[in-house]
C-alpha cells in the first residue's frame, strides 16, 4: 500500500530518515563515495521540507519512500529509496507508477549517480532519457533523466 506521509510528524520523519539512511548507505557503496551528502541529511530537513513524501508499506513496515517536488511545469522525483531488505520486490517500480498516476505533468525529472545501475535501469525502463551528466563537488558523477509526456 502507498500513502502520503506526514513528514512534519517527528516519528514519521524519523521513519522516513531511517529508510533513506539504509538505502543511501548501499548507494554510497555503489558509487564508491566516501563523502555522500544524502547520508548527512538531518532529521530537521525532513520535517521542514517543502516536498511531498509517499511511502510504500509492506505489512506495517515502511519499505520505500519517494520524495516529490511538484510544480505547474514539472514533477521532480527528488529521491526514491527502498530499504535493502525489500530490494527487488517491485517497490521502486510501484512508487514511480504511483507518481505518474497522481501527478498530471508533461515533464518528469529524476537524478542519480551514474554508477547506480539499478536506479538507471529502472528509470530507462520507464522511458526516461538521459539529458545531462556532471561531476559534483563531492566527486560523484551524476546523471539527469527526463521523461516528457
Q: How far does CA 124 lie from the centroid of its chain? A: 15
Domain boundaries, the chain: 2-148
The pLDDT tens digits of the residues spanning 48-107 come to 999 999 999 999 999 999 999 999 999 999 999 999 999 999 999 999 999 999 999 999
Q: How far apart are CA 41 and CA 38, in angstroms?
A: 5
Band of pLDDT at residue 22, cut at 50, 70 and 90: very high
Q: How many Å is the Cα radius of gyration of the chain? A: 15
Mean pLDDT of 118-136: 97
- Residue 9, strand partner residues: none
E strands, 13-95, are: 52-58, 61-70, 75-82
Write out the CATH class of domain 2-148: alpha beta
Q: How far apart are CA 149 and CA 145, in angstroms?
A: 13
Q: How far apart are CA 67 and CA 78, in angstroms?
A: 5
The pLDDT tens digits of the residues spanning 46-61 come to 999 999 999 999 999 9
Q: Which is it for strands 141-148 and 75-82: parallel, antiparallel or unpaired? A: unpaired
Q: How far apart are CA 42 and CA 21, in angstroms?
A: 11
Amino acid at each position: 500500500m502507498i500513502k502520503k506521509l506526514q513528514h512534519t510528524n517527528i516519528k514519521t520523519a524519523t521513519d522516513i530518515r531511517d529508510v533513506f539512511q539504509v538505502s543511501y548507505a548501499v548507494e554510497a557503496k555503489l558509487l564508491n563515495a566516501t563523502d555522500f551528502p544524502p547520508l548527512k541529511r538531518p532529521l530537521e530537513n525532513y520535517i521542514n521540507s517543502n516536498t511531498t513524501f509517499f511511502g510504500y508499506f509492506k505489512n506495517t513496515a515502511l519499505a520505500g519512500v519517494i520524495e516529490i517536488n511538484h510544480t505547474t511545469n514539472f514533477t521532480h522525483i527528488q529521491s526514491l529509496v527502498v530499504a535493502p531488505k525489500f530490494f527487488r520486490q517491485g517497490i521502486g517500480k510501484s512508487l514511480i507508477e504511483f507518481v505518474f498516476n497522481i501527478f498530471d505533468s508533461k515533464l518528469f525529472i529524476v537524478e542519480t549517480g551514474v554508477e547506480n545501475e539499478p536506479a538507471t535501469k529502472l528509470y530507462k525502463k520507464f522511458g526516461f532519457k538521459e539529458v545531462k551528466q556532471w561531476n559534483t563537488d563531492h566527486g560523484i558523477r551524476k546523471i539527469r533523466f527526463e521523461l516528457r509526456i
